[in-house]
Amino acid sequence: MKPKYLGRLSSLPVLLGIATNPLATTRRLHSRYGPYVLLHYPHSRRSRPQMLGCIADAELYRTMYSNLEAWRGVNVAMRAFKSNAASRLSLSMLRLRGARHTHYRRLISLPLSKPAVAAMSPDMASVVQRHVQAWPRGEATDVLPLTEYLMQDLSIKLLFGDDHDRALPIAHKIT
């Protein structure tokens, strides 16, 4: 699959749109140019261009993530201080390489295996059902705090053995 290249000036409005409304902007981008678009950062030089690949194709994702040495994920969110928790959390499995990637992959592969997730599904379903039944009905509601609380409760139940006293301070730091 051959990418559509957008030059530095053509990329500028798209990059601004991604910063302000990423979902709508990338949908428009892919509907206009196809599933694989390369944007050039306006500040990059012609001799060493910096590009951002925008992909909307499942097969291409599989190809990329099966060769982590050739493809490197990037964080397009705002940069934070290195000591900031959000900055540390941005180092996901998709961005790690070599021994660190292998180490963390070994750590999470067993808990995220199909049998392990299947064993957790009744607990997950009961937590979700309890939360959804308590949500307001028939009125306009901000679902963001409701889903944040749901995710915190799921994390505490599945990762901390339902020990709310110990885990709640940690869960409140992650939104």
Q: Where are the alpha helices (DSSP H) in the chain?
A: 8-20, 22-33, 58-65, 85-89, 98-109, 114-134, 143-159, 164-173
Q: How far is CA 122 from CA 3, 29, 125, in A?
A: 43, 40, 5
Q: Who's near 172: CB < 8 A, 6+ residues apart?
A: 152
First-to-last C-alpha distance (Å) of the chain: 37
What amino acid is encoded at 153 in this protein?
Answer: D
pLDDT in tens, the chain (175 residues): 788 989 888 999 998 888 888 888 888 999 999 888 988 888 877 788 788 888 887 787 777 777 766 666 655 554 555 565 555 555 666 667 778 878 888 888 888 888 988 998 898 899 999 999 999 999 998 988 898 889 888 888 887 787 888 888 877 776 5
